[in-house]
Amino acid sequence: MLRSRIFWRLFAAYGLLLAIALGAVGWLIQRRVETHLVGEMRRKLEADAQLVQQLVLARASSPAEQSGQVVRLARITGQRITLIAADGAVLADSAAEPAGMDNHLDRPEVRMAQLNGVGSVTRFSDTVQQNMFYTALRTDHDTVRYVRLALPMGVVENELHWLAGVIWTAAGLTLLGALVLLVRVRFRGIRVALGVLLSLYVALIGYHLALRDDLSAGRGGAVRVVAPP
């Protein structure tokens, strides 16, 4: 009886410690991947802004042509595209009529681009009424001083929700397997068992992330800009 009580006390203690360890590892992985996803979105928008700059500003001279190019490219890329003058006036926007839009010189991403050449920020858009991730690129064009691209934050939030589901499902399965294994082995070889389970936990998360990357690449991770005839 005494040995049984000691075992279950140790079982509860090891189970609690393992749950804390798995939770900490899961939280760290989630935070790391969050930072990675946001960084990837920023780099993607910066690269796409350069492509839009080269295509629109090189081939469209009049405001009407620029506006038409912006709308077509936004339809292809799924991004919101805005062309802004040096004084902050909106010259073209894929989501709204420029005439009805406020001056954009005070927008955080535009101010950052004015100082550093490029600026990225997450904020609520009064025009489209949702949280957006913005990237603005400063240009040397005479008329269009800033090219700004944006994606809804829902894209990132969906990825993070999926990631959280993978992490905590893997953590729960690993914890369950560890507790079952503890009962089976009665703490004999416990360090080896826990090492194997933790390795399996990390490997399971890595497999799902690699699978998600493959699926994203298959959907076309890089934006393909098609020039209109």
Mean pLDDT (the chain) is 78
Q: Which residue has the higher pLDDT, 84 or 193?
A: 84
Residue 88 has pLDDT above 90, yes or no: yes
Instruction: Report pLDDT for 81.
Output: 94
Q: Are residues 56 and 126 in the same domain?
A: yes
Same domain, yes or no: 70 and 109:
yes
pLDDT greater than 80 at residue 181: no
* pLDDT reported for residue 68: 87
Within a domain: residue 184? yes
- In a shared domain, residues 49 and 149: yes
In a domain, 78, yes or no: yes
User: Looking at residues 48-56, what average pLDDT do you find?
Assistant: 84
Q: What is the pTM assigned to this prediction?
A: 0.65
pLDDT level of residue 1 (50, 70, 90 thresholds) = very low
CB atoms within 10 A of CB 207: 12
Residues 65 and 142 in one domain: yes
Indicate which CATH number applies to the domain containing 119: 3.30.450.20
Chain centre distance of CA 108: 20
Q: Is 225's pLDDT higher than 80?
A: no
Predicted confidence at residue 214, as pLDDT, reads: 53
53 shares a domain with 144: yes
Between 146 and 77, the higher pLDDT residue: 146
pLDDT on residue 105? 93
Q: What is the pLDDT of residues 187-222, one digit of tens each?
A: 555 555 556 556 666 666 665 566 555 545 544 444
User: Quick one: pLDDT at residue 213?
Assistant: 58
Q: Are residues 13 and 108 in the same domain?
A: no
Q: Which two tokens stand for residue 220?
A: 């076309």
Tens of pLDDT, residue by residue over 142-179, are 888 999 999 888 877 787 888 788 888 888 887 787 77
d(CA 81, CA 151): 9
Domain count, the chain: 2
What is the domain range of residue 64? Answer: 44-153
Mean pLDDT on 30-59: 83
Instruction: Tell me: do 51 and 147 sit in the same domain.
Output: yes
For residues 205 and 138, the model is more confident at 138
One domain for residues 199 and 142: no
- Residue 224 inside a domain? The answer is no
